[in-house]
Amino acid sequence: MDRIRIRGGAPLNGTIPISGAKNAALPLMTASLLTDETLELTNVPRLADVSSLLRILSNFGVDHMIAGRRPGQTSETGQTVRLTARTIIDTCAPYELVSTMRASFWVIAPLLARFGQARVSLPGGCAIGTRPVDLLIMAMERLGATIEIDGGYVVAKAPRGLQGGEIVFPKVTVGGTHVALMAAVLANGTTVIENAAREPEVADLANCLVKMGARIEGGGTCRIVVEGVSRLHGASHEVLPDRIETGTYAIAVAMTGGDVTLTNTRPDLLQFALDTLGQVGVDISVTNEGIRVRRNGAGLEPVDVTTDPFPGFPTDLQAQFMALMTRAKGTSRITETIFENRFMHVQELARLGASIRLDGDSAFVDGVKRLRGAPVMATDLRASVSLVIAGLAAEGETMINRVYHLDRGFEALEAKLGRCGAEIERIKS
Ligand code: EPZ
């Protein structure tokens, strides 16, 4: 298994291009199952999760083509993926494929909507909590599907097609909203989704579905109304920038000091997190080139943060922000409200010298004068990158083991940081 070695202490200076969002690309790729025509997606990041989903879609019989690089494009220019689900040979997604990535469970909705049946293994994914699928099942049932659990598989049926209905989510769920949208676009009649997730990735999926001929109002708001249509057609859509990657590099610069411009991204995708960095003492400005992040020698102010659904502070930036607060001039309280088990980075950060006390859903982080390099282990995607951030500021060498988690969600991480002055290298196994 590959490892990443970091020598901490170097400030970051330069430009980091932000990739297309993993969490937008995955539902968009899934939406290709809704039509027999070609869905072209541009700005798709080169990530392990994208490859895993391509494998699952191929298994169903979806043709895919990855367009070659055009002159002037670098290895970090997002790729163009064309997906054509003309002939589907199988509507079953087996355990071996679904267990590695929770988002692959979402294929159940377009398969059910277009073919009237689907059999999909219960999902896996990052070990960050129990992560049930009861609300995704509820959404499909509200549209008239019958659902059974059979030997670890969810079997969904709607032989006469789905019927529009009212879906009221008792809590905000991104995956639940994606599933509800993809099921509703081909249902007969009107569907109203209440308490829908407002994450930009939901709005991106809704925008793409509209280009494919869907009739959707309110994508990206808490009330989405879908007027079902009988068929969708092909379209071309650019995946929106990755707000979590943007926030991660902004936090990395806050941690090391320096001056970095994040390009190909948008501040409105993570305004709350950028404002929080401002409170901590980081200089954030928006220029023609992108988001400029600067910190000179001044210390970091401690700040209390609570994760919340969009537009609140994202749970997917919680671990990275905690790494930053290990160096603040006092105690910060970080409260996690989305996933109950998303503190596994705490013990690894402690190996680098961080002082963190857990109390229920809160972590109390006492800033320390210095972190010291040590061997650490990546436990999930965002936890892994929090260790990279801590390692960039730690004295001496940090060796991060099990980096396959990072490859699921961060494209060309070492190259992007290395070009800005970080001493970081991958050691191939
Ligand atoms: C998406 O996961 C993201 N994944 C996650 O990013 C992200 O952390 C999460 O949304 C929250 O923003 C992708 O987009 C691929 P949820 P999702 O359904 O959709 C509970 C990353 O690192 N819930 O919004 O699975 C659930 O347990 C990943 O990129 C139910 O109770 O998250 C959680 O407490 C990790 N029943 C809350 O809702 C359900 O049926 C929100 O989960 C579904 C969810």
What are the tens digits of pLDDT across the range 326-370?
Answer: 999 999 999 999 998 799 999 999 999 999 999 999 999 999 999
Count of residues for the chain? 429
Pick from 75-89, 346-360, 403-417: least confident: 75-89
Which CATH code, of 3.40.1180.10, 3.65.10.10, 3.90.1310.10, 3.30.1490.270, is assigned to 3-16+241-427?
3.65.10.10
First to last CA, the chain: 5
Number of other CB atoms surrounding residue 159 within 10 Å: 9
Torsion-angle region of 402 (φ positive above 0: left; ψ -120 to 50: alpha; else: beta): left
Q: Cβ distance 212 to 234 under 8 Å?
A: yes
> What's the rounded Cα separation, in Å, for the pair 189 and 104?
27
Which DSSP letter does residue 150 get? E
Domain layout of the chain by residue ranges: 3-16+241-427, 26-238
DSSP helix/strand/coil, 264: coil
Q: Cβ distance 346 to 353 under 8 Å?
A: no
Q: Cβ distance 164 to 140 under 8 Å?
A: no
Rounded distance from Cα 90 to ligand 1 centre (Å) = 27
Q: Cβ distance 103 to 173 under 8 Å?
A: no
Q: Model's pTM, two decimal places?
A: 0.97
Nearest to 384 by CA among 345, 427, 411: 345
Rounded distance from Cα 251 to ligand 1 centre (Å) = 22
* Main-chain phi, psi angles of 45, to 5 degrees: -75, 150
* 126 included as an active-site residue: yes
Atom of ligand 1 nearest to the CA of 103: 15
Q: Taking every pair of C-alpha atoms in the chain, what is the biggest distance, in angstroms?
A: 66
> What's the rounded Cα separation, in Å, for the pair 156 and 42?
31
Percent of the chain with pLDDT over 70: 96
> What's the rounded Cα separation, in Å, for the pair 346 and 161?
47
What pLDDT score was predicted for residue 71?
61
Rounded distance from Cα 173 to ligand 1 centre (Å) = 6
Answer with the residue of higher pLDDT: 386 or 131. 386
* Main-chain phi, psi angles of 43, to 5 degrees: 60, 35
> What's the rounded Cα separation, in Å, for the pair 324 and 297?
15
Ligand 1 pocket, residue 386 CB under 6 Å? no
195 is written with which tokens?
């308490």
What pLDDT score was predicted for residue 195?
98
Among 47, 131, 379, 411, residue to substitute to test ligand 1 (most atoms within 8 Å of Cβ): 131
Torsion-angle region of 350 (φ positive above 0: left; ψ -120 to 50: alpha; else: beta): alpha
Number of other CB atoms surrounding residue 400 within 10 Å: 26
Ligand 1 pocket, residue 175 CB under 6 Å? yes
The active-site residue, picked from 92, 126, 208, 420, is 126
As a whole number, the mean pLDDT across the chain is 94
Rounded distance from Cα 424 to ligand 1 centre (Å) = 31
246 is written with which tokens?
């943007």
What pLDDT score was predicted for residue 209?
98
Mean pLDDT of 369-386: 93
370 is written with which tokens?
């210095």
Q: Whose CA is nearest to atom 41 of ligand 1?
A: 173
Report the CATH fold assignment for 26-238.
UDP-n-acetylglucosamine1-carboxyvinyl-transferase; Chain (3.65.10)
What pLDDT score was predicted for residue 227?
98
Q: Cβ distance 110 to 62 under 8 Å?
A: no
Ligand 1 pocket, residue 23 CB under 6 Å? yes
Fold agreement between 3-16+241-427 and 26-238 = yes
- HSE-CB at 155 with a 13 A cutoff on CA atoms is 6
